[in-house]
Amino acid sequence: MGKVSVLNHWQMFSDFTAQYRSGHAKDPFVEIDNWNQFSLPTQISSSFTEVELSIIHNYAFITDPERVPAARNFINGEWILSPEQNKAFMLAHFDQTRSLFSVSAPTPADIEEAIRSAFSTANMYPWCLDGIMYRKKVVERFALLMEHFQDKIEREIRLYIPKTKKEVGKDFHEAVGAARLLAGESLRALRGDMLPEIIQGQEYWKSYLPGGPTVIITPMNFVWGIPVIQLVAAYLAGNPIIFKGHPFTAISNEHIIRLLIAAGADPLALQVIQGFGKDVEQIAIDRRIKIVHITGSYETADHIRARRAGAHAGGALYNEGGGCNWAWIDDNFNNEELEQIAIRLVYSKLALSSHKCTTLHGIAASTETLNRLLPLIKWEMCNWKIADPHETDDDEEKIIGPLMVHSKKFYDEIIRQTTAAGYETEVVNVPGQEDEAYILKTQSVPPAIICCVGVPNFITVEWENEGQRTINLATTELFMPILVVYPSTFNDFIRFQITTNPYGGIATSIYTRDTKKISLAKSSVGGMLKINDGTDSAFEWEDFGGDGTGLSGNGSAGDPVATIRQYCRRQNGRSVVF
């Protein structure tokens, strides 16, 4: 049998464009003979011709951001435009007078069909017969396609979630790097182990099988990076997938899935459900769904966990979220070194609009060191400016983007209540905050520093539109450019991270040359421990995740073997020789 190519079916793709724009279209790859019934990886090429890439481009990126498109659901091989009731327009974060696209909630019948299709596919497992080597090759082709369309993908990321060029690069390279690493480690993740002969005449082994129908829920801050990590891992494990990306990135959600299909993935094993939480939560609580992976808040995960328990759904639920990430700085740094530390920590605080999972929440140190460090922190914050990240020059990095989770009103409430409570609160004046026209059409605010006397530090605030809430400033995640500071010894800081901070297991930064303190931190602090570095992740795709015991989550998004295996069922085998 010859290699399958889109070149033999170009008319199908031409027809698909017209049908898609009319609102309802069967994916052309469903119609291509044997596209989802391969048995050997040699039946698809390792590369693409320019003509193939042109056809794939028109298929994968059919939506045109300039036309205010409407996001589609992808159910049982068909792209479906849901009815316009409950329709919402997604406004640009950099200009809230501009609509980027619309999202309509799927009907209950659409959700049921997506679940039924995933469950039916899992019961048949036709795509798993291709074998891991085929799926591995699909992911390698997927990475090639992402690299070819890098410029388009990066422009798209920057449009939907305003980022500087540097942060866009992190998002994109996280996706490509994860795909390649997961593909490369997939055999090791799935091969299991043959145990030595424990009893004569008996064999023992461990292996990993497809986990079953899987729901993947992803956030808005990493548009391609986070979805690609989880989608690729679940695909390599051999699971049918229902993908629920964030509404703010609904068009990108489509593009990711179509590019994965174009790489060779079975279109009938992938579903996309768009919309907001309560409209679509049934996909995550249905008993037919065996694995749910959420990258988002612990409140969302706890809600779904409770609903699944009430439905006796069983299965596995993994959550990977953010946290109140703290840094502690030792006393023995000179002024030049403290200046370097201040530059790094301010980037950890302000980059990506303070919306990273590993964004710095607070700084602790001795009173003497804080007195030396805080002026340098304020000085460095003044080197940043409020501006539209998606329109700045590529070499500009120190940009304070607009709020995306909280509102300016809530930011003002935090500043007002901490001042009233007697905390030393300072709003740092930065360039750009005088641009009233830009401020009015965005939710942009300057950085602020709140100095506390220790922990806990409780204040009562009006939490957005949800009424009054009493919060601990030290342990309440705020997606805003607000830095919390308190004096602490090293031992007290370690105790705080372990016993008080419910997010303590996500990212902790320790600046010290003291080997005893480094040793104590290594033996006690879970999650991501950064020695002499900021809390936010490096440019490379590194092991990421909480320690598994805190509110930061219990999933995996770094170690390739663990990431794939969380989508598997374990098998413990014994064979007796008659």
Residue entry with tokens 């170690």: 559
Number of domains in the chain: 2
Amino acid 538: pLDDT? 56
| Greatest C-alpha distance within the chain | 84
Residue 145 sits in the same domain as residue 291: yes
Residue 388 sits in the same domain as residue 314: no
With contact defined as beta carbons under 8 Å apart, do 251 and 63 qualify?
yes
Rounded Cα distance between 270 and 16, Å, is 18
CA distances from 101 to 63, 90, 242, 408 (A): 10, 6, 22, 24
- What HEC string does 499-541 produce? HHCCCCCCEEEEECCCHHHHHHHHHHCCCEEEECCCCCCCCCC
Q: Which of 270, 290, 321 is the last residue of a domain?
A: 321
- Kindly give the interhelix angle for 250-262 and 132-148, rounded to the nearest 10 degrees: 120
Q: Is residue 64 part of a domain?
A: yes
pTM of the model: 0.94
Regions of the chain with pLDDT less than 50: 1, 126-127
Which CATH number goes with the domain that contains 260? 3.40.605.10
Instruction: Using alpha carbons, select from 239, 249, 292 the residue that is nearest to residue 122.
Output: 239
Residue 305 sits in the same domain as residue 329: no
Q: Is residue 27 part of a domain?
A: yes
Give the H/E segment covering residue 269. none
**Alpha-carbon torsion (519, 521, 526, 529), positive or negative:** negative
Q: Which of 321, 352, 370 is the last residue of a domain?
A: 321
DSSP letter at 215 equals: E
Domain around 164: 8-38+47-189+208-321
Residue 108 sits in the same domain as residue 152: yes
Q: Is residue 264 part of a domain?
A: yes
Which CATH number goes with the domain that contains 451? 3.40.309.10
Q: Is residue 218 part of a domain?
A: yes
DSSP letter at 315 equals: S
Which residues are within 8 A (CB) of 423 and not within 5 positions of it... i.e. 6 or more apart?
Answer: 450, 451, 452, 457, 473
Q: What is the CA radius of gyration of the chain?
A: 25
Q: Is residue 553 part of a domain?
A: no
Residue range 405-457, pLDDT digits in tens: 999 999 999 999 999 999 999 999 999 999 988 988 999 999 999 998 777 78
Q: Is residue 565 part of a domain?
A: no
Residue 255 sits in the same domain as residue 404: no
Q: Is residue 199 part of a domain?
A: no
Q: Is residue 567 part of a domain?
A: no
Residue 213 sits in the same domain as residue 360: no
Residue 363 sits in the same domain as residue 474: yes
Rounded Cα distance between 533 and 253, Å, is 33
Residue 84 sits in the same domain as residue 182: yes
Residue 259 sits in the same domain as residue 136: yes
Amino acid 4: pLDDT? 64
Rounded Cα distance between 502 and 253, Å, is 31
Residue 438 sits in the same domain as residue 352: yes
Residue 105 sits in the same domain as residue 250: yes
Residue 282 sits in the same domain as residue 420: no
Q: Which of 269, 304, 321 is the last residue of a domain?
A: 321
With contact defined as beta carbons under 8 Å apart, do 527 and 507 qualify?
yes
